[in-house]
Copies of this chain bind each other. A is one copy, B any other.
Amino acid sequence: MRQVWWNGKIIPESEARISIYDSAFMFGDTCFEMTRSFNKEHFKLDEHLERLMKSVKCLRIPMRESYINTLRFVCEEIIYKNKDEFKEDDEYRLMIDVTRGLLPRYEQVGSLGTNVIVSIFPLRWATKGLGKYFDTGIPCFTPSQRQIPAQLLDPKIKHRSRMHFRMALNEGEWPLLLDPDGFISEGPGYNFFIVKEGLVTSTEPRNILRGISREYIYEIYDFVEENIEPYDVYDADEAFITGTPFCMLPVTSLNGIQIGDGKPGIMYGALLDMWSKNVGVDIQKQIQDWDNV
What's the Cα separation between A91 and B26 when bound, in Å? 21
- Chain B's closest residue to A23 (CB) is B166
* Chain B CB within 8 A of A178 CB: yes
* Chain B CB within 8 A of A213 CB: no
Taking the closest CB of chain B, its distance from the CB of A161, in whole angstroms, is 3
User: How many residues of A are in contact with the other chain, CB < 8 A?
Assistant: 74
* Cβ contacts under 8 Å, A23 to chain B: 166
Q: Are B152 and A146 in contact (CB under 8 A)?
A: yes
Residues from 166 to 182 in A contacting B, C-beta threshold 8 Å: 166-167, 170-171, 178, 180-182
Interface stretch (choices A69-77, A104-112, A274-282):
A104-112
Question: Known contacts A23-B166, A95-B20; is A153 also within 8 Å of B160 by CB?
Answer: no
Q: Which listed residue, B29, B95, B148, touches A166 by the CB 8 Å rule?
A: B29
* Chain B CB within 8 A of A163 CB: yes
* Chain B CB within 8 A of A121 CB: yes
What's the Cα separation between A216 and B279 when bound, in Å? 44
In the A-B complex, the 3 residue pairs with the closest CB atoms: A151-B182, A28-B28, A17-B17
